[in-house]
Amino acid sequence: MNLADFNDAQRQALLDLTMLAMYADGNLAAVEDEQVGRLLTALGCDTDYDRAKHYDASISRISRHSTTTDAARAHASQLARLFTSPEHRRQVLDVLDDVVTSDRSIAAKECGFLDVVREALQMP
């Protein structure tokens, strides 16, 4: 995964979208958490300390937006709009798809979440 050409705001938004996707179904699977760990490494977090710091910061940022499904989806839509190039949009969808399918079970809430992000990214 090459995220070198994402700016800092896009990197943060991608992490937050991934966290929202991970929690979209209300069930945290260990494999989803591992996916987030790999994303953090791809984002340049090389130490356990850095990964934990960015993970915790993302949880803090999204917590106020995840009180309801509608709030989480509205925030996801806002975050997705930070990605303007077709390549970035595709990468975002690929990362999110990997997270929600990693536990081999896609819940209706996860599908709805992905639909909202796809719409915001203007992707079919």
Question: What are the sequence ranges of the domains in the chain?
Answer: 8-121
DSSP secondary structure code for residue 68 in this structure: S
**In which band, very low, low, confident or very high, does the pLDDT at 124 lie, cut at 50, 70 and 90?**
confident
Topology of domain 8-121 in CATH is TerB-like (1.10.3680)
41-84: pLDDT as tens digits = 999 999 999 999 999 999 999 999 888 889 999 999 999 999 99
Average pLDDT over every residue of 22-34: 82
- C-alpha 83/C-alpha 121 separation (Å) is 7
pLDDT(1) > 70? no
CB 121 within 8 A of CB 87: no
Q: What is the pTM of this model?
A: 0.91
